[in-house]
Structure 1
Amino acid sequence: MESLPVRCPVCRRDHMYATPAYPCPCGAPTTTPLLRGAPVTRITHRTWTDDWVTARCRACGRHDQWPQPELCCPCGAVLRIPVRPVAAPGRAPGTASRPVRPSHIPLPRTAAAPRPGFRPLTIRTAQDAVGAAALYLKWLGYREVVQPAGRPSSRIDLRAAGLIAQVDSTTRPTALRDVECLWLNALSASVSGVFFSLAGYAPDARQRADGLVIPLFVMDLTGTPQPVNGPAEELVSPGA
């Protein structure tokens, strides 16, 4: 695993970034090559081309598209980590290819249909919201759903086998930054991420979640989560 010292250009805080390893279809771990000495940049506008980079598996030589390395600073800035360019097969160095959405980062497997009816937990406090989300994940078929002791700096509220979840119980719509931070934490842990919100999502947060294939749910005070994007509908649908 390659690591790189990173200084946030916004708050000047120092971090140590470790690039995550992704499983190549051949089974070998693959990492994106970091470009040492190049400055990190704050992400203020996203495009599909900028969000994926080409990496080469050292075991089989396969070239594939993987997420652009990013770091979410506690100050709120999302930083893009520079990588060494890798030419795609059959292309000269420096020639760009159009990224395609990887098909090897699947949504987690859920319980087989049919499911019994979901029994919600009435939400009166922020802790109730987390409890309702935990019950819903268990209903979907996730195993070992637990709440970390004390909310960590990553703001992850729930963990399960192959999954992390964040629950926003504030009265404001969930922001783009919160969705992106969940995505980065999920990538670092090689698991999937799911978001629950009481007040819904900002338009750019919903759009970003669709591109990152992050299921979004909205909960009302009865404690019944409702899917609000395609990945969430797929997660809930029988046989998903």
Structure 2
Amino acid sequence: MTTRIKAVLFDKDGTLIDFQRTWGPTFYTLIAELADGDDGIMGRLAEVSGYYLHEQRFAPDSIMVAGSNDDVADAYAQILGLTDPAELAADINARIGDMSLPHITPFDDLMPVLDALSALGLALGIATNDAEASARAQLSALGIDARFTQILGFDSGYGAKPDPGMILGFCREAKLEPRDVVMVGDSLHDLHAGRAAGVRTLGVTTGTVGHEVLTPHANHVAASLTQALDWITANAAA
């Protein structure tokens, strides 16, 4: 018999909040500041990020959809003529969370779904490839940071997805076996990390990746958080 789900670990961007509406305008502000008004440099930063500058949107295969800010630091440093990519990455990570707050856009059903999960008595956590400080700033701005027992970013000491470190770290801290946990996310990074950690995986098509891409890597795929809740509810009672 399948054991019942006792905890839900969420990705953040594209899963709880609208990735394009939150990070599209935020990233425009970031690269405008980095380029210091140079349109040519802005264009090069956008291109290496997989970002449509004039539309303020990311391409579906952008490294920023599932990656971390560190993933483009080397390329950015080269374009900007900087010698220390790690210092640049630290600078980006330190300010991009607050920079995003005017644009943060949660999905409409986020609050009711979190209420329902809490009513089920499930432990909730976050595992994001965003920086931890950025994630905490966003969740605090939404008034939901206290709902999560753990908020883990790529810089929290467990590594980034698709490696399973954050998920295994969550399981250890929650004193749960991986089979008791479901990882909910909108990217293959989320699902691959979940599979590697031995947890159940629930894909959502609320990001930039479609059902047909997620399905081979997930126990279930849902079109919204509300539909994801239905599956979690059924498996929390299994």
Q: Structure 1 or 2: larger helix share? A: 2
Q: TM-score, normalised by structure 2?
A: 0.29
Normalised by the length of structure 1, the TM-score is 0.29
Larger radius of gyration: 1
**Larger strand proportion of the pair:** 1
